[in-house]
Amino acid sequence: MLKTVSTAILLIASCAIPISATAQKHHKSGKTRSAATARSAAVNGSMAYATRPEALQFADDLAERRDLDREWVRQAIGQARFLPQVPRLMLPPAKGTAKNWRVYRSRFIDPVRIRAGLRFWQDHAETLARAEREFGVPAETIVGIIGVETIYGQQMGNFRVMDALATLAFDFPAAHPRAAERTEFFQRELEQFLSLTHRSNVDPFEPRGSYAGAMGLGQFMPSSWVRYAIDFDGDGRVDLFNSPADAIGSVANYFIAHGWKPGMPTHYSVQFDPDPARVQLDELLAPDILPSFSAASMQAKGAMLDAAGAQHTGPLALVELQNGDDAPSYVAGTENFYAITRYNWSSYYAMAVIELGHEVAAARAR
Ligand SMILES: [Ca+2]
């Protein structure tokens, strides 16, 4: 069973429950401030963002844009701490590091995770079936996501989300090839997080998550929480930390919002034409994971599909999974394969989700 996290928080979805005037006022009262002062003392020399004029300027602008209490936002950002270990986790692996699907797969698909998945499915079979009925997203896929993300709630991350987001918003590593874009991304996430916690009357220093600020069983970023999280157990609030039902419904809702097509397989197997002169591999790989080829055009370029794949009517992508020094693996990904990559932009990730879900379903059938 899922353990209740000690710093239980209940972030309320944007429109689930109107926040009363008293709740809003609470933030402006002395209570938050005295807790903040205590925290400030605990910081004890490690860099807090109050020393950074651009962080405080960001706080002022954010408060203005979102119509939040300026002092509250300044206090939150000012007391967020720089996490020195976080920026380097954002850097892409060193050039020359060969990707290896078999190694990646073995990190996520093992007997321990499969057993935990089986338990999760047994405990929440009705909810998973309801999500499948209402959204058309298979239980297997939802089980795959929550398993890969957090081993069914066992590893939801232990970074203070506030510190992680502030670090990435103000100190994203300049060496990253897309540093400017990523900085903007994390500044928007920080803004959403503060807006969400302020509205829900939650201390922004309470929620814990990944080094990137992802939270709960399905590791939702703040903007995804605001846009796609739902109350699926009907208690009137959205809690992706302690309510597996809310997490299950929210993952399904996320998929539907990102183009999941009920009933469509995620991928088909591929064999290359035995005559290498007939295989236009560069052309097939050019669109990367974006489904761009009809089944017929894919086969005309030398990627031969299995019987079901040859009948597929939507666009397909040739997905390449490298295996270190060995030959890569290939599959033909559908729009549903692509939808899984909207959760985490990696074909390796999507394949691990699919295969973990499949393994848990197989264990369940035994
Ligand atoms: Ca709920």
Q: Residue 270 phi/psi, 5° resolution? A: -130, 140
Question: Cα 104 from chain centroid?
Answer: 17
3-state secondary structure 220-237: ECHHHHHHHCCCCCCCCC
Closest CA to 155 of 81, 208, 229: 208
pTM of the full structure: 0.86
The answer to whether 279 and 303 are in contact (CB under 8 A) is yes
Q: Which amino acid is at 264?
A: M
Cα–Cα distance between 274 and 277 in angstroms, integer?
Answer: 9
Q: Which residues of 60-90 are buried (b: 16+ CB within 10 A; e: fewer)?
A: eebbeeeebbebbbbbbbbbbbbbeebbeeb
Contacts of 189 (CB under 8 A, 6+ apart): 165, 168, 169, 213, 221, 222, 223
Q: Which amino acid is at 226?
A: V
- 23 burial type by CB count under 10 A (0-12 exposed, 13-18 middle, 19+ buried): middle
Distances (CA, A) of 283 to 274, 279, 288, 293, 323: 17, 9, 10, 10, 21
Residue with tokens 């669109």: 287
Could you list the pLDDT tens digit for every one of the 366 residues in the chain?
A: 333 333 334 454 433 333 233 333 333 333 344 444 444 434 444 689 999 999 999 999 999 999 999 999 999 999 999 999 999 999 887 777 789 999 999 999 999 999 999 999 999 999 999 999 999 999 999 999 999 999 999 999 999 999 999 999 999 999 999 999 999 999 999 999 999 999 999 999 999 999 999 999 999 999 999 999 999 999 999 999 999 999 999 999 999 999 999 999 999 999 999 999 999 999 999 999 999 999 999 999 999 999 999 999 999 999 999 999 999 999 999 999 999 999 998 999 999 999 999 999 999 999
* 145 CA from centroid of ligand 1 (Å): 19
* 237 CA from centroid of ligand 1 (Å): 4
* 69 CA from centroid of ligand 1 (Å): 28
* 229 CA from centroid of ligand 1 (Å): 10
Domain residue limits, the chain: 267-333
* 283 CA from centroid of ligand 1 (Å): 47
* 12 CA from centroid of ligand 1 (Å): 9
Element (H, E) at 268: strand 267-272
- 240 burial type by CB count under 10 A (0-12 exposed, 13-18 middle, 19+ buried): buried
Instruction: Identify whether 149 is a catalytic site residue.
Output: yes
* 33 CA from centroid of ligand 1 (Å): 30
Q: Which amino acid is at 154?
A: Q
Closest CA to 340 of 330, 332, 348, 350: 350
Active-site option among 149, 189, 335, 359: 149
